[in-house]
Amino acid sequence: MDRITKISSGIKAPKSYPTSSLTITDNRTGKHYEIPIYNNSFINSQDLSKIVSPDAPTLRSYDPGYMNTMSCTSSITYIDGGKGILQYRGIPIE
């Protein structure tokens, strides 16, 4: 657990500020939605949950193969693919 504490103490989440926005028109309902664009390069996929219709409670994104998914830094998981290490809260996942 000491190693995880040491690693997580050095991790700082990058600050992201909305720099622009994306206007989405839902052709099913005609509603318009403003989705913030962060650092001029990405949107938060959770913002898509703002888009709702009577047929679907929330809109989800689908990214087969994670070809367009960003990674993030986690303070509760540790992965070292080269060494075959996968831990969650310091507990090996095997």
What is the per-residue pLDDT for 80? 87
What pLDDT, in 10s, does the model give residues 59-72? 888 888 888 887 77
What is the mean predicted confidence (pLDDT) over 26-32? 92
What is the mean predicted confidence (pLDDT) over 29-42? 91
Decide if 24 contacts 51 (C-beta within 8 A). yes
What is the per-residue pLDDT for 37? 92
What does pTM read for this prediction?
0.57
The CA-based angle 18-49-30, given to 5 degrees, is: 95
Q: Coil, helix or strand for 80?
A: strand
